[in-house]
Amino acid sequence: MSDIALIAPYKEMGNLARGLLEQCSSSVAVLDGDLACGVEVARDAQSCGTRVVISRGGTAMLISCAADVCIPVVSIPMFSDDIVRAVDRAARFSRNIGIVRFSSTFLPNISTLSQIFNARIIDLPIMAVDEASIRIQEAIGEGIGVFVGGVTGVKAARGLGYPAVLIESSGSSLYTALSEAASLVAKTAKLQRTVQLLRDALDLTGDAVIVADEEGQVLELSRAAVRAAGSDRERMLGQSIGSIAGGQASVSHTSMIGGECLGSVLILPRTAPPARQTSGAAITFDDIAGSSQCIRECVHVASRYARSDFSVLLTGETGTGKELFARSIHNASPRRDGPFVMVNCAALPESLLESELFGYASGSFTGANKGGKVGLFEQAQGGSIFLDEVSAMPVSVQQRFLRVLEDRCVRRVGDHQVLPLDIRVIAATNRDIRSLVASAAFLPDLFYRLNVLRLTLPPLREREEDVPAIAQRMLHDFSRSATSGPRGFTNAALASLMHYDWPGNVRELRNVIQRLVVCSDSDLVSAAEVKHAIGLDDGADEFGRVFSHFNQSVGYVETFPDGGSDLTAQLPEEPGRLYDVRNLRLRTRDHELDSILNALEACGGSKSLAAQRLGISRVTLWRKLKDHVASIDH
């Protein structure tokens, strides 16, 4: 989502805005929505990272008054020319004209307008949307025959059966609002960075901190406070602090400036029991670290999925956080008070998986418990069941599982009794499930049943800007249980973490951070320690490893005396094909940078594609660029 969102209360404004923005190549998002619908659009835009909202009239007023919309709202001005054009059209219906407007908008010169159009024109200012109909009815009693106004006034007049003309915003009005919004974005960018820094500081304290305004409504919470309350952060914002903290507050501080109360800060005791306990782990969307657009969009979509009760299919590479999203969806859903049951379908053999999922009756097979067993579907009654690696489920079990989804009931193995089920299914896989369907390894009907709400989680290499925040949070969490260890990273260390490809994604990053907590003796982790923890400093020649792997994969092997590999002796000549790998290996250092820059240009600036083109790893490409820059600086 763009920094600025223009919410158009009527279609023509949206079209005009899109035309203006095409001419100036701006990245402003133009969205449609009036009044209450516009407020909902503003909420969605805010959750996707929009910093400023632009709208007009009643829609702008309602957005400004919404307690959960905490970003600036720029109101599109109403210029004299806009009003004159609308009055000119209205005068064709009647010479008795009423102008319906919000009292905070531009006040037209009624006397001048009346003289220009030789008409009786009255001003009908309103303070709220529901006042429009009342003022219009009063004006009708005074002989007014046509009305001019914004969307609110026009809808009210037409609803009463009277003609109405919409005051349409001109390009100048939109340009003025867009300029003001752009200025606000620039001014608030630094403030928002400061707020994010303070929010991160709250999370790192480990205390359950709640910040409220002067009226006692929650403004901000630490991650520990969200867990202690057992709720969702977005749901808690704006609530009364008493309804969340109750009598648990151990420390209370009231902030005052010039005798005026700004708000209060409360800290819940560490031993305080959560306000609401659930069977699933108290993990929420706030536990998902990262501020990149792709992960924020995933959180936004998952939050919407949580409100429904349909099946969810989570896809993505191993280690991308599918279980974390599954638990967050459960804990943000109406089923949060019910159990969260998890089963790894790849970890159990077919016979055991069937009895674990569906349960079994007494004496149903040799070795069965005398009293039978309750299956995992039954254990998830009233809550959610998370089927990890669902693509590994055998076809025979898939058939029974499909019946459960269709009939919403389960029958234990060896039993005739059918038990009704009230569960939500969240499934996950790191494989291409469509290809499994095509190869008959996965039932198409089951896929369609699961693939109602789908969410694909991005790998860590596609959101490298999130790596520092995730690494710092993990370092803080793992250091709590250690008597000593690092408390942060050097800039070079963070750069090393960001430029590694992380094939194991967040799971691999967690392992590396745990290794650093145990092995590092300094307060700040260095780049060398990061490379050692990842395994990039084993002493082998980087080029030799990459070239050897490449040669073996294509069948060309000829070894240099130093252990390298010659790609020039065996590569076939193909017209138009550039062997950047061979060139990078054989060219002198003076020409090496040219090869790298040419590869980057050919790949549109993508370091990953350029590294593949050059036949080296992304880490090596980054290191070589850094070496060349350092040599230029010196």
CA atoms within 13 A on the CB side of 248: 21
Q: What is the pLDDT of residue 482?
A: 64
Q: How many structural domains comprise the chain?
A: 6
Long-range contacts of 599-605 (CB under 8 A, 24+ apart): none
Asked if residue 492 and residue 524 are part of one domain, the reply reads: yes
Asked if residue 67 and residue 53 are part of one domain, the reply reads: yes
Kindly report the CATH number assigned to the domain that includes residue 61: 3.40.50.2300
**CB–CB of 226/286 below 8 Å?**
yes
Asked if residue 98 and residue 61 are part of one domain, the reply reads: no
**Amino acid occupying residue 157:** A
Q: Which residue has the higher pLDDT, 452 or 542?
A: 452
The pair of structure tokens assigned to 246 is: 């109750």
Domain that holds residue 507: 460-534
**CB–CB of 207/250 below 8 Å?**
no
Q: Evaluate if pTM is beyond 0.95.
A: no
Closest alpha carbon to 355 in 420, 400, 324: 400
- Residue 544 in any domain: the answer is no
Kindly report the CATH number assigned to the domain that includes residue 516: 1.10.8.60
- Residue 227 in any domain: the answer is yes
Asked if residue 386 and residue 315 are part of one domain, the reply reads: yes
| Domain boundary pick from 428, 456, 484 | 456
Distance CA 304, CA 44 (A): 10
In sequence order, which residues have a C-beta less than 8 Å from that of residue 155 and are 6 or more positions away? 132
- Residue 507 in any domain: the answer is yes
Q: What is the pLDDT of residue 363?
A: 66
Asked if residue 401 and residue 355 are part of one domain, the reply reads: yes
| Domain boundary pick from 268, 297, 319 | 268
Tell me, letter by letter, the H, E, C secondary structure of 189-223.
HHHHHHHHHHHHHHHHHCCEEEEEECCCEEEEECH
Tell me the mean pLDDT in the region 598-602. 73
Asked if residue 164 and residue 56 are part of one domain, the reply reads: no
- Helix (H) / strand (E) element for 471: namely helix 467-479
Distances 105 to 86, 186, 211 between C-alpha atoms, Å: 16, 25, 34
Asked if residue 514 and residue 479 are part of one domain, the reply reads: yes
Closest alpha carbon to 183 in 105, 104, 79, 74: 74
Distance CA 198, CA 177 (A): 31
Asked if residue 111 and residue 150 are part of one domain, the reply reads: yes
Q: Which of 4-13, 158-167, 338-347 has the lowest mean pLDDT?
A: 338-347
Asked if residue 95 and residue 52 are part of one domain, the reply reads: no
Q: What is the pLDDT of residue 586?
A: 39
**CB–CB of 417/457 below 8 Å?**
no
Q: What is the pLDDT of residue 367?
A: 60
Instruction: Indicate the pLDDT class of residue 543, thresholds 50, 70 and 90.
Output: very low
- Residue 614 in any domain: the answer is yes
Tens of pLDDT, residue by residue over 137-155, are 999 999 999 999 999 999 9
Asked if residue 392 and residue 313 are part of one domain, the reply reads: yes
Asked if residue 347 and residue 491 are part of one domain, the reply reads: no
Q: What is the pLDDT of residue 561?
A: 33
Three-class DSSP category at 170: coil
Q: What is the pLDDT of residue 483?
A: 63
| Domain boundary pick from 439, 456, 473 | 456
Instruction: Indicate the pLDDT class of residue 451, thresholds 50, 70 and 90.
Output: very high
- Residue 112 in any domain: the answer is yes
